[in-house]
């Protein structure tokens, strides 16, 4: 649509009548006198006058058009690109989305982005509303502001951060802002490197802006060729004296091979391993290292590769905890049902080893003390009351772990109806005995050697397991379990199943002699020992990765609440935390902004370590075309502001449209020049005719 920025000048179009008036008043009336002797000359003169009259009319048209074009040029005509409802004289609601994610930290990319954003803020006029959003979704509250001063301050103080940026979480904020403005002109500006991991997915209608707005993409290009490192602790069960397997994953996103990339592993600040590898373009390589903590308790480490264009993903942090003293409850029908378990748990280090054992038999109140247990073993326990089932439910809600071993005295209906069914979706189809005969038993079949209970049990040698003889068993089924051991006929012998926020290991057969000879099998003692570590040391290995910009949560069971809780972040700053207490456990939560190791304290005592790393989606520096924004703005036009185009100019274009007064003025001048040339020609011919 064509409009005018200075529409008052359009009254000057009346000046186009001046050439017409001059033409009319300047015409001379000729008297007609007839001479018979010059009739031939009269016909020649008539034809010459017709040509002169045509040239005169052309001159008149040129003068009229010249006046029209010059007046229109001073009226400043514009072409509006995106809406005919927008009034140029009205203000605008402008939203700037500034990408300050990790990928913007390479080279001087963010400095360029800041310069572009400040130019945008400088073009804001008094009647405009403006809002600034950051793609990491951690900036100021999305509010409309008038005036450029506060926006200048926020942009000047912004810096690239080691966090992931995604446009998708900002869509609800943008929708809310657009609903809260009455401006007719609505514009969105995105200054970003359009890194592929930050564009998210906008196919969902909830992640789209269906209102037509003017969207301006300001793509920035930085250096590429990034190499990223990630990894973790491969060993899921840690115990004193054991070497820990640390795995490293190195990804090469560049286009040139790297011949000698150094990988160094640090543990507690000391270099403990190193290796050099070669990477082809686009290659991903996994490398494992064995490290051994010097003592028990929490430990931290890092894996470092050579520097490149993106420094934040050249270091991977990890943390864990070699368990000290773990409190285990053994609960059974008689002490004989617990003896084999007690021996298995203390065989390696004795009574003063890792496990502190408390035994219970029916009649002793273990339910009220359950919050003190790091792990619970039930062996041939006869009956679960409603009170005990409720205590177990709260125990699992706080992340507890338990082992179930059946026996001849266990009440299967109470086990099914109060424990397995409600808490872990595991079903007991029934109890059965092996076929009759002197050697009647079931034997071990399939074994999952990748499960944490077994994966480190046979280091550097071929797994060999002597099968126990099972005389009676429960037939376990359900949708929530993961079979670890199975019989030859396919029924599971050991199932791991989630139970609320904790986990449960359910055996199909127990240690009672009427059910099996489990205690005499070579697998029994290490399996029970590792089961205790696996359940009690659920926080020994950080299972779920935490990325900078996310929430870090820690669950603890301290002896008291004295001294207060705090955390020291990777930069050394101390933050006081307010704990949340549920069922005897303390939950600490902290929003993170930096990769590194966070050290949690109770008073002056360090109680936990947690590692935070860069989101791996930031490592792939490949960019998407700006037109990819269309999935978020399906009903809007996407305008790309190129590297040589000033953002302030784009703001004016978005507000008023694209001006073409220069074209009008040039046309007017050319018409005047043409009129001068043609009038001279006409004058010369008129004189020759006289």
Please state, in angstroms and rounded to a whole number, the distance separating the CA atoms of residues 688 and 676.
Answer: 19
Q: Provide the token pair at 137.
A: 């979704």
CA 526 to each of CA 330, 353, 523, 532, 581: distance values in angstroms, whole numbers, following the listed order: 17, 15, 6, 10, 35
Please state, in angstroms and rounded to a whole number, the distance separating the CA atoms of residues 537 and 547.
Answer: 23
Which of 541, 531, 589 lies closest to 374, judged by CA? 531
- Please indicate, yes or no, whether residues 467 and 338 belong to a single structural domain of this protein: yes
Does a structural domain hold residue 163? yes
Count of C-beta atoms within a 10 Å radius of residue 462: 5
CA 360 to each of CA 212, 333, 354: distance values in angstroms, whole numbers, following the listed order: 70, 9, 19
- Please indicate, yes or no, whether residues 337 and 462 belong to a single structural domain of this protein: yes
- Please indicate, yes or no, whether residues 135 and 193 belong to a single structural domain of this protein: yes
Last residue of a domain, one of 479, 508, 536: 536
Length of the chain: 690
Q: Write the CATH number for 107.
A: 3.40.50.410
Does a structural domain hold residue 363? yes
Please work out, in degrees rounded to the nearest 5, the angle formed at the alpha carbon of residue 683 by the alpha carbons of 681 and 688.
95
The tally of CA atoms less than 13 A away on the side-chain side of residue 472 is 16
Output the pLDDT for position 66.
80
Find the helix or strand (DSSP H, E) in which 664 lies.
helix 661-689
Please state, in angstroms and rounded to a whole number, the distance separating the CA atoms of residues 27 and 638.
Answer: 57
Find the helix or strand (DSSP H, E) in which 474 lies.
strand 472-478
Sign of torsion, CA 419 420 425 430? negative
Residue range 43-50: average pLDDT? 61
Percent of the chain whose pLDDT exceeds 70? 84
Q: Provide the token pair at 75.
A: 């009226």
Please state, in angstroms and rounded to a whole number, the distance separating the CA atoms of residues 215 and 638.
Answer: 5
Please work out, in degrees rounded to the nearest 5, the angle formed at the alpha carbon of residue 364 by the alpha carbons of 370 and 398.
10
- Please indicate, yes or no, whether residues 652 and 665 belong to a single structural domain of this protein: no
Does a structural domain hold residue 605? no
DSSP label at residue 8: G
CB 674 within 8 A of CB 48: no
**Long-range Cβ pairs for the range 33-41 (8 Å, 24+):** none
Q: Write the CATH number for 375.
A: 3.40.50.880
Does a structural domain hold residue 343? yes
Alpha-helical segments (H) within 335-438: 335-346, 386-397, 412-415, 421-424
CA 292 to each of CA 248, 531, 545: distance values in angstroms, whole numbers, following the listed order: 16, 21, 22
Model confidence over 367-392: pLDDT tens digits?
Answer: 999 888 989 999 999 999 999 999 99
**What phi and psi, each to the nearest 5 degrees, are found at residue 683?**
-65, -40
- Whether the pLDDT of residue 44 is over 60: the answer is no
Count of C-beta atoms within a 10 Å radius of residue 397: 16
Q: How many domains is the chain built from? A: 3
pLDDT, averaged across the chain:
83
Does a structural domain hold residue 572? no
- Please indicate, yes or no, whether residues 208 and 114 belong to a single structural domain of this protein: yes
- Whether the pLDDT of residue 481 is over 80: the answer is no
- Whether the pLDDT of residue 408 is over 70: the answer is yes
- Specify the 3-state DSSP secondary structure of 532: helix
- At residue 670 the predicted structure's pLDDT band, cuts being 50, 70 and 90, is confident
Output the pLDDT for position 193.
92
Please state, in angstroms and rounded to a whole number, the distance separating the CA atoms of residues 205 and 634.
Answer: 10
- Please indicate, yes or no, whether residues 400 and 474 belong to a single structural domain of this protein: yes
Query: In which domain, by residue range, is 407 found?
Result: 326-536
- Whether the pLDDT of residue 616 is over 50: the answer is yes
- Please indicate, yes or no, whether residues 71 and 159 belong to a single structural domain of this protein: no
Model confidence over 224-274: pLDDT tens digits?
Answer: 889 999 988 877 788 777 788 899 999 999 888 998 899 999 998 899 999
Model confidence over 557-600: pLDDT tens digits?
Answer: 766 677 789 999 999 999 999 888 876 678 889 999 999 999 99
- Whether the pLDDT of residue 84 is over 50: the answer is no
Weakest-pLDDT range from 162-171, 196-205, 276-285, 636-645? 196-205
Model confidence over 418-477: pLDDT tens digits?
Answer: 988 888 878 888 788 876 445 578 888 888 888 888 877 766 555 667 788 899 999 888
Output the pLDDT for position 430.
78
- Please indicate, yes or no, whether residues 650 and 666 belong to a single structural domain of this protein: no
DSSP label at residue 145: B
Does a structural domain hold residue 545? no
Last residue of a domain, one of 536, 552, 567: 536
Output the pLDDT for position 574.
94
CB 118 within 8 A of CB 686: no
CA 198 to each of CA 41, 549, 556: distance values in angstroms, whole numbers, following the listed order: 87, 14, 35
Please state, in angstroms and rounded to a whole number, the distance separating the CA atoms of residues 233 and 236.
Answer: 7
Please work out, in degrees rounded to the nearest 5, the angle formed at the alpha carbon of residue 517 by the alpha carbons of 514 and 522.
165
Does a structural domain hold residue 375? yes
- Please indicate, yes or no, whether residues 392 and 508 belong to a single structural domain of this protein: yes
Q: Which residues contact 63 (CB under 8 A, 6 or more apart)?
A: 19, 671, 675
Output the pLDDT for position 95.
93
Angle between helices 39-74 and 661-689 (to 10 degrees): 160
DSSP label at residue 370: G
CB 401 within 8 A of CB 376: yes
- Please indicate, yes or no, whether residues 459 and 392 belong to a single structural domain of this protein: yes
Q: Provide the token pair at 14.
A: 């009346």
- Please indicate, yes or no, whether residues 383 and 364 belong to a single structural domain of this protein: yes
Last residue of a domain, one of 482, 512, 536: 536
Does a structural domain hold residue 310? no
- Please indicate, yes or no, whether residues 40 and 62 belong to a single structural domain of this protein: yes
């Amino acid at each position: 649509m064509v409009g005018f920025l200075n529409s008052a000048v359009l009254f000057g179009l009346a000046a186009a009548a001046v050439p017409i008036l001059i033409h009319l008043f300047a015409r001379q009336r000729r008297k007609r006198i007839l001479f018979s002797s010059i009739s031939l000359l009269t016909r020649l003169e008539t034809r010459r006058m017709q040509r002169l009259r045509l040239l005169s009319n052309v001159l008149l048209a040129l003068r009229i058009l010249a006046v029209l074009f010059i007046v229109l040029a001073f009226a400043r005509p514009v072409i509006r690109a995106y809406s005919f409802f927008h009034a140029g004289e009205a203000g605008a609601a402008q939203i700037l989305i500034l990408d300050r994610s990790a990928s913007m930290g390479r080279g001087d990319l963010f400095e360029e982005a800041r310069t572009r954003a400040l130019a945008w803020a400088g073009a804001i006029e008094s009647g405009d509303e403006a809002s600034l959003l950051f793609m990491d979704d951690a900036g100021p509250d999305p509010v409309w502001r008038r005036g450029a001063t506060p926006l200048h301050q926020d942009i000047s103080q912004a810096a690239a951060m080691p966090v992931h940026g995604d446009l998708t979480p900002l869509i609800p904020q943008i929708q809310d802002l657009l609903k809260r403005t009455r401006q007719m002109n609505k514009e969105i500006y995105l200054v970003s490197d359009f890194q592929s991991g930050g564009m998210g997915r906008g196919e969902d209608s909830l992640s789209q802006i269906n209102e037509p707005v003017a969207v301006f993409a300001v793509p920035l290009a930085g250096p590429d060729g990034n190499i990223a490192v990630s990894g973790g602790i491969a060993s899921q069960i840690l115990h004193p004296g054991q070497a820990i397997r640390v795995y490293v994953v190195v990804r090469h996103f560049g286009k040139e091979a790297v011949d000698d990339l150094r990988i160094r592993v640090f543990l507690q600040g000391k270099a403990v391993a190193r290796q050099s590898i070669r990477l082809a373009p686009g290659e991903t390589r996994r490398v494992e290292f064995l490290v051994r903590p010097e003592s028990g308790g929490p430990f931290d480490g890092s894996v470092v590769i050579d520097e490149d264009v993106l420094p934040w993903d050249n270091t991977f942090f990890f943390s864990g905890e070699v368990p000290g003293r773990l409190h285990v409850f053994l609960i059974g029908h008689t002490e004989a049902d617990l003896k084999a378990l007690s021996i298995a748990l203390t065989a390696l280090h004795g009574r003063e080893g890792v496990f502190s054992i408390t035994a219970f038999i029916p009649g002793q109140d273990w339910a009220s003390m359950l919050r003190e247990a790091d792990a619970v073993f039930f062996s041939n326990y006869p009956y679960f009351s409603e009170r005990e089932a409720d205590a177990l439910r709260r125990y699992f809600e706080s992340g507890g772990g338990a082992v179930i071993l059946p026996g001849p005295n266990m009440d299967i209906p109470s086990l099914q109806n109060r424990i397995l069914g409600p808490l872990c979706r595991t079903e007991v189809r029934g109890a059965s005995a092996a076929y009759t005969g002197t050697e009647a038993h079931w034997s071990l079949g399939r074994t999952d050697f990748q499960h944490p209970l077994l994966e480190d049990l046979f280091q550097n040698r071929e797994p060999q397991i002597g099968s126990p003889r099972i005389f009676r068993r429960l037939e376990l089924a359900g949708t929530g379990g993961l079979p670890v051991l199975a019989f030859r006929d396919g029924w599971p012998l050991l199932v791991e199943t989630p139970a609320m926020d904790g986990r449960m290991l359910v055996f199909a057969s127990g240690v009672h002699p009427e059910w099996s000879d489990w205690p005499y099998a070579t697998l029994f003692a290490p399996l029970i020992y590792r089961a205790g570590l696996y359940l009690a040391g659920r926080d020994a290995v950080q299972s779920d990765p935490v990325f900078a910009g996310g929430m870090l949560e820690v669950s603890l069971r301290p002896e008291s609440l004295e001294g207060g809780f705090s955390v020291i972040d990777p930069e050394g700053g101390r933050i006081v935390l307010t704990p949340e207490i549920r069922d005897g456990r303390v939950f600490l939560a902290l929003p993170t902004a930096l990769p590194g190791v966070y050290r949690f304290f109770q008073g002056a005592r360090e109680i936990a370590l947690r590692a935070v790393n860069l989101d791996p989606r930031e490592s792939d520096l490949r960019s998407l075309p700006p037109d990819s924004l269309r999935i978020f703005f399906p009903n809007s036009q996407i305008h790309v502001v190129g590297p040589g185009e000033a953002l302030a100019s784009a703001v004016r274009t978005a507000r008023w449209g694209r001006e073409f007064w220069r074209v009008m003025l040039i046309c007017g001048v050319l018409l005047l020049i043409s009129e001068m040339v043609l009038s001279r020609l006409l004058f010369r011919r008129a004189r020759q005719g006289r």
